[in-house]
Amino acid sequence: MNTLIEGPVVAQKPPQGMLLHCGAELVSRAQLCEVPTPQNTSTWYPLPHSRVYREVLDQLEGCGFLVTEEAHALSHDGARYFGVVNITLPGRGIFDWSWAVGIRNSHDKTFPAGLVAGTKVFCCDNLAFSGEVQIARKHTRFALRDLRHLTARAVGELGGKSWRASTSGSCAIARRGSATSGHTTL
């Protein structure tokens, strides 16, 4: 008897677009949520890994994307987070092309919170991080406040690409006439 599994598949090995060779280990979403966030200082305000992941997921779901697979990895005793989420639009077949979103965050001041997205992404625990759409946000005073806006912008750019690539156009956030390379840093 076949069983229907609800929700995205959690990877047992790193999916395409994620390379782990510098000590990071795959973890479950529940383990990701258990990682403690260090206390902020007067100039550094770390973001919880689970909050960064959840914000990306909320924006993707809000634009109509469906998560088909996800993988999360931690290194340096949970101080560094790397994630890849594979997404598609409703009604697409399993052989149609889809998109991926790479996520990273650090609690050891190694790199800013970031997101990459596109038809191919590369998220590696050696800190390589690339995709067609890129955003990054340093862990400063208003990082948490800006997280939703930046994530919405990146997902909107991905949605704009999906609108041009597909007539379904599920994403309500339109890409507003910016002729940028897709890289955003605040």
Long-range contacts of range 162-165, CB-CB < 8 Å, 24 or more positions apart?
162/89, 162/99
Q: Which helix (H) or strand (E) holds 72?
A: strand 66-75
- Name the residue range of residue 54's domain: 9-173
Q: Is residue 128 part of a domain?
A: yes
Number of structural domains (the chain) is 1
Query: What integer best gives the mean pLDDT of the chain?
Result: 82
Among 15-29, 81-95, 169-183, the range of highest mean pLDDT: 15-29
The predicted-structure confidence for 129-162, as pLDDT tens digits, reads as follows 999 999 999 999 999 888 888 888 888 887 666 5
Q: Is residue 183 part of a domain?
A: no
Q: Is residue 135 part of a domain?
A: yes
Q: Is residue 185 part of a domain?
A: no
Q: Is residue 182 part of a domain?
A: no
pTM of this prediction?
0.79
